[in-house]
């Protein structure tokens, strides 16, 4: 009997069993926070992105690409690299983590070292020099529109001696 009374209290308090008019709210409306737009199938529709020509997009649908392939980019980097003499003398090896912007026309701008080769600022400068020599890249796209996008690159320094 106690179980039945608890069920009656539950049904009454949730509005399932009441005499008055019950406002039907979706679970999202009942939350009172952020409403997500849903289509009939219940699939989420992302909000529209306003694309402009000055924003640098970190996340895009189609990333910027080196003309050719990733293998061609590695070959270009290797062929263009002039290993710093000081690094060779003291046996420094490591990776230079770079970030730059690929503009809408494919040119590379705003080159920054995010984390350089330990104890070798010459290596970092050499990585920047090589990136400046790169040919234009294929720009990134967001929702089918060519945009300015951020590109991250790891530039390895490994002695061949």
What confidence tens digit (pLDDT) does each residue in 4-14 have? Answer: 444 444 444 44
Q: Are 45 and 39 in contact (CB under 8 A)?
A: yes
Q: Which two tokens stand for residue 95?
A: 């990776």
Cβ atoms < 10 Å from Cβ of 98: 21
Q: Is 3.30.2420.10 the CATH classification of the domain at 56-157? A: yes
Instruction: For residues 108 and 21, give the distance between their C-alpha atoms in angstroms, rounded to a whole number.
Output: 64
Return the DSSP state at 20. Answer: S
pLDDT, tens digit, for every residue of 82-116? Answer: 989 888 888 888 999 999 999 999 999 999 999 99
Instruction: Tell me if the pTM is above 0.75.
Output: no
Every domain of the chain and the residues it spans: 56-157
């Amino acid at each position: 009997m106690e179980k039945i009374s608890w069920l009656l209290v539950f049904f009454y308090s949730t509005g399932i069993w009441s005499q008055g008019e019950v406002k039907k709210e979706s679970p999202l409306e009942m939350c009172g926070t952020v409403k997500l737009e849903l289509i009939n199938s219940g699939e989420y529709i992302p909000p529209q992105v306003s694309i402009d020509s000055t924003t640098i997009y970190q996340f895009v649908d189609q990333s910027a690409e080196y003309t050719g392939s990733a293998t061609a980019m590695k070959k270009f980097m290797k062929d263009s690299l002039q290993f710093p003499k000081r690094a060779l003398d003291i046996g420094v090896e490591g990776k230079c983590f770079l970030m730059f912007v690929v503009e809408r026309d494919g040119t590379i701008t705003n080159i920054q070292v995010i984390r350089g080769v330990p104890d070798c600022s010459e290596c970092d400068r050499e990585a920047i020099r090589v990136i400046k020599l790169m040919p234009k890249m294929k720009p990134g796209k967001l929702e089918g529109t060519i945009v300015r996008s951020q590109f991250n690159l790891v530039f390895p320094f490994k002695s061949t001696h």
